[in-house]
Amino acid sequence: MIYLGPGGTPHGIKGTEASMEYLAEEGLNAMEVQFVRGARMKGSTAKKIGDKAEKYGIRLSIHAPYYINLNSEKDEIIEKSKERILKSARLGHIMGARVITVHAGYYGELSSEETTKIIGENVVECGEIIKEEDLDVKIGLEQMGRKKSWGTLDEISKVMEKSDVVVPVLDFAHYHARYNGILRSEDDFKTLLEKYDSIHDGPLHSHFSSIEYNDTGERSHLNMEDKEPDFELLAPVLDKRPYDITVICETPELDRDSLRMKNILGSL
């Protein structure tokens, strides 16, 4: 099954709880709750959101705060980063979110191998606490779009080898931007999904938008109509996958572009 919905509250709707019924009325069935500015939600609020999501058949995920760098030179930043991941995981467990999407950090002056080792150790530590607390969530390490950001599929796969709490989050726009506009055909998307399948047998949690990019990678997210990359080339590839797929729309149009994705998939 393919789950579709926005990364954040739909246009014109006030609050995450109210979004559940609205998304269901639109015919959407997923939402990524945005903690990007901080995981400040009360547990009681998370429970209400989870109850509404269950009632209306909305699959929830969470995007952890942007202010995370598990490869910082400062121990204080690393500790606060782990706290942010764990707070997101605890709230996610309460609301029934399946994946906590994380931007794990930056290379700084270190190599990919050195950065992967450090980030991996810190992610594994978070994973152990998640297990100890019996939280039913996964840490979703996002494939990143800026070349200075840690997070290629190869790097993520190395961390997955050390913790079964970790899953990859495939961001098609980020991949497109990081590799200079690489997704130009249906076969390009097939190659990427085959790479994903080689490190994880599903389900797939993913993000989609069009994207502006330059030699450094990602610059800003664009609407679907810009076709950088083109969802119409991805849709038939997704339709053939043997596992559940969640596609979170990260365009400025949010739920409106989610509905456009649904229409494209429905026309196959």
- The pLDDT, as a whole number, for residue 99 is 98
3-state SS string for the chain = CEEEEEECCCCCCCCHHHHHHHHHHHCCCEEEEECCCCCCCCHHHHHHHHHHHHHHCCEEEEECCCCCCCCCCCHHHHHHHHHHHHHHHHHHHHHCCCEEEECCCECCCCCHHHHHHHHHHHHHHHHHHHHHCCCCCEEEEECCCECCECCCHHHHHHHHCCCCCEEEEEEHHHHHHHCCCCCCCHHHHHHHHHHHHHHCCCCEEEEECEEEEECCEEEEEECHHHCCCCHHHHHHHHHCCCCCEEEEECCCCCHHHHHHHHHHHHCC
pTM of the model: 0.96
Please give the mean pLDDT across all residues of the chain: 97
Q: Which domains does the chain have, with CATH numbers?
A: 2-266 (3.20.20.150)
**pLDDT at residue 124 in the model:** 98
What would the pLDDT profile of 202-242 be if each residue is shown by its tens digit? 899 999 999 999 999 999 999 999 999 999 999 999 998 99
What is the average per-residue pLDDT within 93-119?
97
pLDDT score recorded for residue 36: 86
Q: Is the pLDDT of residue 38 over 90?
A: no
* pLDDT of amino acid 126: 98
